[in-house]
């Protein structure tokens, strides 16, 4: 893979702040910055400035007009984020000022950076491996303490070190087996003790299995626990969603069948991200569009970890029985919570009758009033309890990236074939082939055998300026 020799520039901060930062990186980064920068101290020559220093001065255009007073940070290769000569120009946050500085840099010969190009250059210059580079994007997108800890651990190399240890063990096994093949005409020579190698393969399989299995938890932490809000029309599903989100996200109406498609949003409760999905009301209808919405409700139920079944406490029990079978058969793989809404409008006797009617349903049960926001704090505590996520520390290695999970799954298949081959007494050349495949998959995660196409798919998802 070739390292692009262009000098790039980009605005690295969001619009609207008091300060805006423009990053410049590449072989001409310092020269191009010096061409538009005038230090306040006349005797200070910017081109000879030491690395890791800040210089105060002003940005001027071709006519010598002052654009802004700025601070410029200078980094010299290879001791920078990208591994290249780099500068960071700290301006006032005006979008006009930032665009003027960008235009001046481009006029000097810079090119506007592509999304993720700074981190891609850092990877290509060996400043980080590919899994660490991907963690940069996860760190920027982190929205909870758990996602932050996982991204920090991965970015600092925790995951990479685990993979490195696995690869070293696999290479040790492979080298011994292939050494035997080189001396295959000497049957009395055996460099690889099969019992020892089998034990080592079992240890490697255990570690890869643990990493692969951690993806279920990692995916939930990263993307949020899916919570489907279901029930009959006008039971209060949209009202509950709005109350939990503290905003009018969903349309609330007395007209039956208002919600015809899924509405989705996330909130953070005690450091855990929940992804709430408001669904179309379940009922018998001849409306084609509404039936499509109900079918999507069933699809969301199948994907949810937690299902909140909203029941109108003021309605008759007959309608509850009408959808009971449809709901319960789709809740087998999720944790079910029965929420008796509008409970402020019914007596204690009615509440007792409602509970008696659902005693056979294995679920949590709670009386709420979404409109008056009664017992919503108890609902939030219940959700955290049902999430049952483990305590995450910065030392925990949990897989959150689907690319890593797929590579680990393929590596696990390979090591399983190695174990089977050893049990069946297969020749060393056949076992070595599966060992090499396992090494390849682990190497792919950290970017040692990756392709330009894979890199493009990864870094194009980054924000510009990172």
Domains of the chain: 8-129 (3.30.1360.120), 145-214+397-447 (1.20.120.430), 220-387 (3.40.50.300)
- What does the pLDDT average to over 325-337? 82
Which of 30-44, 242-256, 342-356 bottoms out in mean pLDDT, i.e. has the lowest?
A: 242-256
**Confidence at residue 260, expressed as pLDDT on a 0 to 100 scale:** 40
Which of 82-91, 208-217, 319-328 bottoms out in mean pLDDT, i.e. has the lowest?
A: 319-328
- What does the pLDDT average to over 271-289? 69
| Cα–Cα distance for residue pair 195/422, rounded to 1 Å | 9
User: For the chain, what percent of residues have pLDDT higher than 70?
Assistant: 85
Q: How far is CA 92 from the centre of its chain?
A: 32
Q: How many CA atoms lie within 13 A of 379 on its CB side?
A: 27
Contact (Cβ atoms closer than 8 angstroms) between residue 269 and residue 383: yes
Count helices and strands (H / E) in the chain: 16, 13
Strand partners, 369: 374
- What does the pLDDT average to over 220-229? 87
Residue entry with tokens 């929940």: 274
**Confidence at residue 46, expressed as pLDDT on a 0 to 100 scale:** 85
Query: Distance of CA 443 to CAs 37, 176, 211, 404, Å?
Result: 44, 20, 15, 11
| Tens-place pLDDT, residues 139-164 | 888 877 788 888 888 888 888 888 88
- On average, the pLDDT of the chain sits at 83
Looking at per-residue confidence, does 166 or 1 come out higher? 166
What does pTM read for this prediction?
A: 0.74
Burial of 286 (0-12, 13-18, 19+ CB in 10 A): exposed
Q: What is the dihedral of CA 39, 41, 43, 48, to 10 degrees?
A: -40
Q: Is the pLDDT of residue 251 over 70?
A: no
Q: Is the pLDDT of residue 44 over 90?
A: no
Please, which pLDDT band fits residue 378 given cuts at 50, 70 and 90?
Answer: very high
Q: Is the pLDDT of residue 287 over 70?
A: no
**Confidence at residue 150, expressed as pLDDT on a 0 to 100 scale:** 86
- What does the pLDDT average to over 403-432? 87
Residues in the chain: 466
């Amino acid at each position: 893979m070739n390292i692009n020799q262009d000098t790039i520039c980009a605005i690295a901060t969001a619009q609207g702040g008091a300060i805006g930062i423009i990053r410049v990186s590449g072989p001409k980064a310092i020269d191009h910055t010096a061409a538009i920068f005038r230090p306040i101290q006349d005797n200070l020559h910017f081109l000879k400035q030491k690395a890791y220093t800040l210089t105060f001065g002003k940005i001027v255009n071709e006519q010598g007009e002052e654009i802004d007073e700025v601070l410029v940070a200078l980094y010299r290769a290879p001791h920078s984020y990208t591994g290249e000569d780099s500068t960071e120009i700290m301006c006032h946050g005006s979008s006009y000022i930032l665009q003027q500085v960008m235009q001046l840099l481009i006029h000097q010969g810079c090119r506007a950076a592509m999304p993720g190009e700074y981190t891609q250059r850092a990877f290509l210059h060996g400043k980080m491996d590919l899994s660490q580079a991907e963690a940069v994007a996860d760190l920027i997108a982190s929205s909870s303490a758990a996602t932050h800890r996982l991204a920090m651990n991965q970015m600092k190399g925790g995951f990479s070190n685990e993979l490195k240890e696995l690869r070293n063990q696999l290479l040790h096994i492979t080298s011994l087996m292939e050494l035997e093949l080189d001396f295959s005409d000497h049957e009395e020579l055996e460099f690889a003790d099969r019992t020892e190698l089998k034990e080592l393969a079992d240890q490697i399989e255990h570690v890869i299995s643990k990493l692969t299995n951690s993806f279920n938890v990692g995916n939930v932490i990263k993307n949020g626990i899916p919570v489907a809000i279901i029930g009959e029309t006008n039971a209060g599903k949209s009202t509950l969603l709005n109350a939990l989100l503290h905003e009018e996200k969903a349309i609330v109406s007395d007209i039956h069948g208002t919600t015809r498609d899924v509405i989705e949003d996330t909130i953070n409760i005690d450091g855990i991200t929940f992804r709430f999905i408001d669904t179309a009301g379940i009922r018998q209808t001849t409306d084609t569009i509404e039936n499509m919405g109900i079918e999507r409700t069933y699809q969301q139920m199948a994907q949810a970890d937690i299902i909140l079944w909203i029941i109108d406490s003021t309605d008759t029990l007959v309608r509850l029985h009408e959808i009971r079978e449809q709901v319960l058969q789709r809740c087998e793989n999720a944790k079910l919570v029965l929420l008796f809404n509008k409970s402020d409008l019914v007596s204690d006797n009615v509440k007792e009758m409602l509970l008696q009617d659902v005693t056979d349903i294995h679920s949590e049960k709670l009386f709420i009033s979404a409109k008056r926001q009664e017992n919503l704090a108890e609902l939030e505590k219940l959700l955290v309890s049902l999430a049952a996520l483990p305590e995450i520390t910065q030392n925990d290695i949990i897989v959150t990236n689907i690319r890593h999970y797929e590579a680990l799954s393929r590596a696990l298949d390979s090591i399983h074939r190695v174990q089977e081959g050893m049990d069946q007494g297969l020749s060393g050349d056949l076992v070595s082939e599966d060992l090499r495949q396992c090494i390849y998959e682990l190497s792919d995660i950290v970017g040692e055998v990756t392709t330009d196409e894979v890199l493009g798919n990864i870094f194009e998802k980054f924000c510009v300026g990172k």
